[in-house]
Amino acid sequence: MMAQFAVHAFAKNRAEELGFDLTDLFVVPLFFDKLALHEVRKPLLIEGGRGCGKTTLLRYLSHQTQLSPKRTITRDNLPKEIGLYLRADTQYLRAFAGDALNDKDWQRAFEHSLCLSILGELLSSLALLGEGSERKVAFAEIEALDLGIMRDFDEAAPATLSALQAYVNRQKNRLATWLNNPDDEVRPRLLPLKQVLLATIGAMRQQLPFLTEHVFFVFIDEYENLLQYQMQVINTLLKHSEPPLIFHVATKRNGMATRATLGTEQLQEPADYRKFDVEEHLAKDFELFAAELFCFRMDQRGTGGGGEQFPVSAKVLMDPKKIGLRRDDADYRRRVRAVVDRVLPGMTTDELARFILKDAPLRGRLVKIIAEGLAIQRSTLAPEAFLRERVATASICCGALLHQGKKGNVLLEELDKQERGEKSSFAGDGGWIHHYLAGCILHLYLPLQRPCLLYAGFDAFLKLSRGNVRHFLELCHLSMVELDHDPKPDESVPPEKQASAARTASALFVKESQGSGDEGNRLFLVVNTLGQIFRFSQNRPSQSEAERTHFSIDSALPRDAEAILQECVKWSILFVAPETKVKDERFEGEEYILNPIYAPYFGISYNKGRKLELTTQAAIELLTGTRDNLDKLLRNYKNRWSVTDDQLPLI
Amino acid sequence: METRDERFFLETTLRRVEHLIRQGIWEGIDLARSRNWYSQFEQRACGLLGACLLDNLVYRSRAQLIALLGAVMTSPELLGQNDDDDRQVVSSLRSQRDPGIRLAPVIRLDQPPIKSGMYVLRLLAREFGVRDRWMVWPEALDKQPEFHTLLLVDDFCGSGMQFVEFLGTHTMQQFFASRADCRVIYLPAAAHEQGLAKIREVVPRVQVLAAEVLNDGHHFFNGTVLDQYGIKDLKAELLNQHETMCTAHGIGGRLGAFGFQELGLTYGFAHGTPNNTLPILWQDANGWTPLLNR
Amino acid sequence: MRIRTFSTIDAQQTLPALQWDLAFHGDAVDVRGEAALAMLKATAKEQVPCGYDIRGSRTLRLNGAKTTRKELAAQLKPAQQVLLEATTLGFVELLHLLRAAHDQRVEGVDLLYVEPQEYRRVVTLDTPGIREFSLSASRRFEGVQGFVTDLSLFENRPGRFVTFLGYEGARLVQAYEQLGGLTQWSKYAIFGIPGYAPGWEINALANNVASLEKHKFDSVQYCPASAVSGAYQLLESIFSEGGGEVPMIVAPLGTKPHGIATALFLIEHASYQETSLVYDHPERSLNRSQQVRRWHLYRVKFDYR
């Protein structure tokens, strides 16, 4: 059995799967220089949803990568900011609550736990720095490091590096043991976080001259999962961050539930911290980044032919100093893009239209729709007359147009014009093809087992993933799984397989929505209900409101529904777009787009097509309704759109 | 029935089947074969029937059968009032010391030696460590020293007729006559209420213990299985499609299209399928590709 | 540890006629609970209501009063006949009570459980993509006070993650979302087969199988949904596969009997870093129409060595 490198190339797309040492694995994102880590000493609030690469980025910035054994570290190239990465162990830290201790003690216990974790990382970084024969020479002082300063805080603390590391683990255990039985167990000495860390760093710097100018960054990930008082503790650390110890936090969008500190002051932006929105930055150059990532992963696994096939040098991609080279070279962009287009080709709408006319089931379905449309008009024209190879795209639209009430002979005339190359209602911006083609193609595929080929191609993948690295990688991964072997040098993944991969990925992410925070169950139902509504719309033969994928609500929502709506945005179930058409002076609301990654699962479009206007009542039912409400909502739409099919002409 | 909703249901069900097979939960069902089986339905526009059958298939892989056997062998009814451990009977059957219990397969010497009772005994030996010296052919029972409990093992009891026939053999009649004090327990891994009722009626001396019991509600068409969909005319539609498929492919034969005794079940094991299960699932004739092994 | 189960064949309460000195129970929210409490009234000399407050104080309460570990232990004496009414008691209460009994070297504890008579949930073809219609708020995985583990201590010792699974697929999805770092662990899923009624397990399988695939579970295993001893044995056998060297995290996201088995297992393996628990404290299902299907009595005898 051939080992499938290509499948493995994209298999690991979650940070946890990649491990801590990301050397040789990390493509530096094109916004990396905007982080300005070397210059600014202000804490960062790094915001971004699942799959934006936030955690991977932090791990890259942490000592396991920075000081990786794979790198040659000398006193000269020792990174000036050494990262210590902490992932809040949610289930443990959230148990730091309740009557077992008073509030003050919980706070101190939390600080103690945090202190141990950071201390552990600090010691690990030193241990890593002094590991290996070369480093033992270059950083000889580490071996003799005396951290007896710890005894100022706990007489029982050892002084050597390795003994202290063991001590930290023992103390972690003692803390857990004590918390499990505070009445009977001996209370451990609760360390004061800042003093301990600063004292330790101070002692380190004194004995390790190569660290005198260096700063330690503590990255606290998943901040949003902490309890309120814990956030306050960290906010205090943020507010008073200064070299040599600077704190940064990473959270989901709107994850900083409170700006309060332990004192009276609040955290202020930008005075106390700088917000960095990963998704926003990622979106700017996502096309290039995705293409580079693709090439990098394929090349890494030896599936590439080397430099020729993949015009990206892994070294350049991994070098933070070479971002400009990548970002500013238009020719480079084109070349990289071309590579991916070759491996993941899509079909142009022309190609797809011609394909449909040749494919028996699809053609048959089109004929049926046209025949129905003609029958409604009591026309005696033959359906076949509307199928023209040379203007396939126009032919595809005819079914919908007939159902909209356009007269058959009018359409035939326009088809003739189109065929002759004359101006027709089909062509141009605002023409029928422009409005209806994608919707009609999706409509043809809806009842078939095969997924629609519109979901194939690098372009489609970009639109489906919409700036989410993880979604993009999963689409690539599943495409390789579908391909079932490593692609040869000029081989591409057939569009059917890509479309199939897209549908599988889509199903996966729909299921994943159940894990979206406290309202996961509800959000899962929102995805399914909304997707189903759009699917009903997609099923209308007239396609008069083509490609519905977003909605607006006609007035303000009550608080609980609004909260769910916000959760949907927070967890990227929905994206917000400002409403394009403002009607009168009434309520000016937002438009919400269903995350396009769900489109293949429901067989709907991933473009922003026509809007569905929800009444407030419908929105309330969608967001907070019971099982019966949701069923009723769906039946209403189903009935509305199948019984009274839209006969209005095109605007 | 509107095609768009069906399509969604079909896709989701098929995808789930793939997951179940790949995760080994439906180990014993071949993925390619399952697709071929289903496509037979699609070809005749009866995909809904195929999907509903898949959606309600109670399929017991080898591992799951072992769990059923575990349940039945640790059944409270098997234990003595003073036993303080559910594993008592299994432990005693693992020991060299005579536990006073014997196990026999429900099989007659005049039948082909492929009956599932043998397979169950093998599993008990392999997975539970039951010593084969406590396993006996029915014909050899009379040569055994005194023992207090006879366990007759089997995989499935549908109508109960096979078991009743077995008990009616000379061998078993002999046994009953000579060992009046011996407790006789029939242990099918799974059973149908009708079978239990029959045995109760005809041979009240025999106690039946099964790990799971099906009833008339499990009849795919006439039971409560389809209620979960909440669709008014679903049963009629599915019966229609079933008729179409059975007629087109010659499914049913002597047994009829609803399985033996018309129990209409959707229940099967990896090692074989009871004939009370709808033949459309297991029939291997007239060019029909079955989903399950008979 | 020895477990002896007594089960009725139907809703008739035909369990052996036993008497208890002390019985702990929770609130009855449905017919089953009421039936169980009625039985307690008739057979237990002293009945103590017990609850765990997850939202606020995170303490165990007996008779409404906050009770420490010591105080709880003091309630139990080795020679007593103790009954835990597991239909109305939650997993956390059971865990604490069993541990207290074990600490006090009580010879044995009995547990009562009334199995629910549930029917297959309705799935419509209108929203066919889903078979799960939970509208309850997802719960956070939060350590159980008295049994918290600092998972960071397991970081360099990847072990086994064993989860019992039930109808609600969202719980496993949430577990993955909230508990990072499970990637390196070997993962085992346990389904209740046979379920309370044949075909019942289809939903549990359907709602979880995609997650099993996605997270590359190593093994899927089965034991009866109402089994305590079977589940316990399964946990033991998975644990011993690692020679006892490999840490094991158990997530009791399935039936109550499986939760009981989990509690017993955790108590038996309470020593240093061996085993730990993750739990999401689901809200009690207020399905008042849940009728009685069967009764089970589990008689547990501890082995103190």
Closest partner residue to C135 among A99, A508, A522, by Cβ?
A: A522
Write out the DSSP string of B196-211. Answer: HHHHHHH-TTSEE--S
* Integer Cα distance of A357 and A396 in angstroms: 8
Q: Is residue C172 part of a domain?
A: yes
Are B292 and B26 within 8 A, CB to CB? no
Q: Residues of B numbered 31-60 whose beta carbons fall under 8 angstroms of chain A's beta carbons: which are they? A: 42
Q: Identify whether residues C114 and C33 lie together within a single domain.
A: yes
* Integer Cα distance of C72 and C96 in angstroms: 9
Per-residue pLDDT, A2: 36
Q: Identify whether residues C200 and C295 lie together within a single domain.
A: no
* Integer Cα distance of B68 and B62 in angstroms: 10
Q: Other C-beta atoms within 10 Å of C243: how many?
A: 7
Q: Identify whether residues C84 and C62 lie together within a single domain.
A: yes
Closest partner residue to C2 among B66, B74, B85, by Cβ?
A: B85
pLDDT band of C125, cuts 50, 70, 90: low
Q: Identify whether residues A445 and A565 lie together within a single domain.
A: no
pLDDT tops 70 at residue C122: no
- Residue among A469, A464, A455, A460 at smallest CA distance from A285: A469
Query: Residue B74 corresponds to which tokens in the numbers above?
Result: 């640790």
Q: Is residue C17 part of a domain?
A: yes
Give me the sign of the Cα torsion angle A290, A296, A298, A301. Answer: negative
Q: Identify whether residues C291 and C252 lie together within a single domain.
A: no
Which chains form contacts with chain B, at 3 or more CB pairs under 8 Å?
A, C
Q: A136-145, A256-265, A529-538, C128-137 — which is least confidently predicted?
A: C128-137
Per-residue pLDDT, B125: 95
Q: Is residue A60 part of a domain?
A: yes
pLDDT band of C130, cuts 50, 70, 90: low
Domain final residue pick, A449, A471, A499: A449
The fraction of chain C above a pLDDT of 70, given in percent, is 93
Q: Is B71 on the interface with C (CB under 8 A)?
A: yes
Per-residue pLDDT, C181: 73
Residue C20 makes CB contacts below 8 A (sequence gap 6+) with C43, C44, C45, C81, C82, C83, C110
Q: Identify whether residues C110 and C55 lie together within a single domain.
A: yes
Q: Is residue A470 part of a domain?
A: no
Q: Is residue A529 part of a domain?
A: yes
Element (H, E) at A167: helix A161-180
How do C291-301 and C2-7 pair as beta strands?
antiparallel
pLDDT band of A651, cuts 50, 70, 90: very low
CA distances from A90 to A94, A519, B271 (A): 6, 17, 45
Mean pLDDT for A569-597 is: 78
* Integer Cα distance of A11 and C183 in angstroms: 13
Q: Is residue C132 part of a domain?
A: no
Mean pLDDT for A500-520 is: 93
Q: Is residue A443 part of a domain?
A: yes
* Integer Cα distance of B111 and C77 in angstroms: 61
Enumerate the β-bridge partners of residue A246: A217
Tokens 């004359």 belong to residue = A422
CA distance B43 to chain A (A): 12
Q: Residues of A numbered 150-189 whose beta carbons fall under 8 angstroms of chain C's beta carbons: which are they? A: 169, 172-173, 175-176, 179-181, 183-184
pLDDT band of A117, cuts 50, 70, 90: very high
Q: Is residue A289 part of a domain?
A: no
For A533, nearest residue in chain B (alpha carbons): B5
* Integer Cα distance of C167 and C148 in angstroms: 26
Dihedral, C256, C261, C266, C267 alpha carbons, nearest 10: 110
Q: Identify whether residues A244 and A357 lie together within a single domain.
A: no
Per-residue pLDDT, A276: 95
Read off φ and ψ for residue B111, nearest 5 degrees. -100, 160
Enumerate the β-bridge partners of residue C191: C165, C222
CA terminus-to-terminus distance, chain C? 11
Are A251 and A279 within 8 A, CB to CB? no
Mean pLDDT of chain A: 90
Per-residue pLDDT, B253: 85
Q: Identify whether residues C157 and C271 lie together within a single domain.
A: yes
Q: Is B22 on the interface with C (CB under 8 A)?
A: yes
Are A225 and A144 within 8 A, CB to CB? no
Q: Identify whether residues A433 and A523 lie together within a single domain.
A: no
* Integer Cα distance of A96 and A227 in angstroms: 9
The conformational region for residue A44 under phi > 0 = left, psi -120 to 50 = alpha, else beta, is beta
* Integer Cα distance of B128 and B133 in angstroms: 14
The vertex-B95 CA angle with B92 and B101, nearest 5°, equals 45
Closest partner residue to C129 among B8, B20, B71, by Cβ?
A: B8
Q: B194-198, C80-84, C271-275 — which is least confidently predicted?
A: C271-275
pLDDT band of C287, cuts 50, 70, 90: low
Q: Is C121 on the interface with A (CB under 8 A)?
A: no
Mean pLDDT by 10 residues, chain B (294 residues): 62 93 96 96 94 96 97 93 92 95 88 80 95 93 93 94 92 92 95 96 94 96 89 91 95 91 96 95 93 93
CA distances from A513 to A623, C132, C170 (A): 14, 13, 9
Query: Residue C247 corresponds to which tokens in the numbers above?
Result: 């840490």
For the B62-214 domain, the top CATH level (class) is alpha beta
Domain final residue pick, A426, A449, A472: A449
Interface with chain C: mutation pick from A14, A59, A91, A573, highest number of C CBs within 10 Å: A91
Of residues B46 and A648, which shows the higher confidence score? Answer: B46
Cβ-based contacts of B218 with chain C (< 8 Å): 198-199
How do A245-251 and A274-277 pair as beta strands?
unpaired
Q: Is residue C146 part of a domain?
A: no
* Integer Cα distance of A427 and A430 in angstroms: 8
- Residue among A226, A233, A188, A276 at smallest CA distance from A92: A226
Q: What is the pLDDT of residues A9-31, one digit of tens each?
A: 888 877 778 888 888 889 999 99
Total tally of structural domains belonging to chain A:
3
The vertex-A587 CA angle with A582 and A589, nearest 5°, equals 70
Q: Is C42 on the interface with A (CB under 8 A)?
A: no
- Residue among C216, C224, C192 at smallest CA distance from C205: C192
Q: What is the pLDDT of residues A374-405, one digit of tens each?
A: 999 999 999 999 999 999 999 999 999 999 99
Q: Identify whether residues A138 and A276 lie together within a single domain.
A: yes
Domain final residue pick, A402, A434, A449: A449
pLDDT band of A587, cuts 50, 70, 90: low
Q: Is residue A338 part of a domain?
A: no
CA distance C256 to chain A (A): 21
Q: Identify whether residues C98 and C204 lie together within a single domain.
A: no
* Integer Cα distance of C181 and C141 in angstroms: 14
Mean pLDDT for A119-140 is: 93
* Three-state DSSP state, A82: strand
Element (H, E) at C49: strand C44-52
**What domain range is A403 assigned to?**
349-449
Per-residue pLDDT, B40: 96
Residue C218: which CATH number? 3.40.50
Q: Is C70 on the interface with A (CB under 8 A)?
A: yes
Are B75 and B207 within 8 A, CB to CB? no
Q: Is residue A183 part of a domain?
A: yes
**What domain range is C109 assigned to?**
2-118+286-301
Element (H, E) at A275: strand A274-277
Per-residue pLDDT, A3: 45
Per-residue pLDDT, B186: 96
Q: Is residue C74 part of a domain?
A: yes
Q: Identify whether residues A233 and A93 lie together within a single domain.
A: yes
- What is the value of pTM for the model shown? 0.92
Q: Is residue C102 part of a domain?
A: yes
Total tally of structural domains belonging to chain C:
2
Q: Is residue A18 part of a domain?
A: no
Of residues C147 and A454, which shows the higher confidence score? Answer: A454
Mean pLDDT for A355-360 is: 95
* Integer Cα distance of A425 and A433 in angstroms: 9
Q: Identify whether residues C173 and C290 lie together within a single domain.
A: no
Per-residue pLDDT, A99: 87
* Integer Cα distance of C206 and B2 in angstroms: 24
How do A550-553 and A590-594 pair as beta strands?
antiparallel
Q: Is B24 on the interface with C (CB under 8 A)?
A: yes
Q: What is the pLDDT of residues A82-112, one digit of tens each?
A: 999 998 888 899 999 998 899 999 999 999 9
Which amino acid is located at A225 in the chain?
Answer: N
- Residue among A175, A141, A148 at smallest CA distance from A163: A148
CA distance C260 to chain A (A): 20
Could you give the residue ranges of the DSSP H alpha helices within A208-273?
A: 228-239
Q: Identify whether residues C100 and C41 lie together within a single domain.
A: yes
The size of the A-B interface in CB pairs under 8 A is 20
Q: A258-262, A305-309, B79-83, C292-296 — which is least confidently predicted?
A: A305-309
Q: Identify whether residues C273 and C296 lie together within a single domain.
A: no
Report DSSP state, residue C254. Answer: S
Domain chopping of chain B, boundaries: 3-56+220-282, 62-214
Per-residue pLDDT, A583: 53
For A98, nearest residue in chain C (alpha carbons): C57
Q: What is the pLDDT of residues A324-348, one digit of tens each?
A: 989 999 999 999 999 999 999 999 9
CA Rg, chain B, in Å? 21
Are B237 and B2 within 8 A, CB to CB? no
On the 0-12 / 13-18 / 19+ scale of CB atoms within 10 A, A314 is middle
For A623, nearest residue in chain C (alpha carbons): C135
Cβ contact (<8 Å) for A532 and C127?
A: yes
Q: Identify whether residues C54 and C13 lie together within a single domain.
A: yes
Q: Identify whether residues C159 and C269 lie together within a single domain.
A: yes
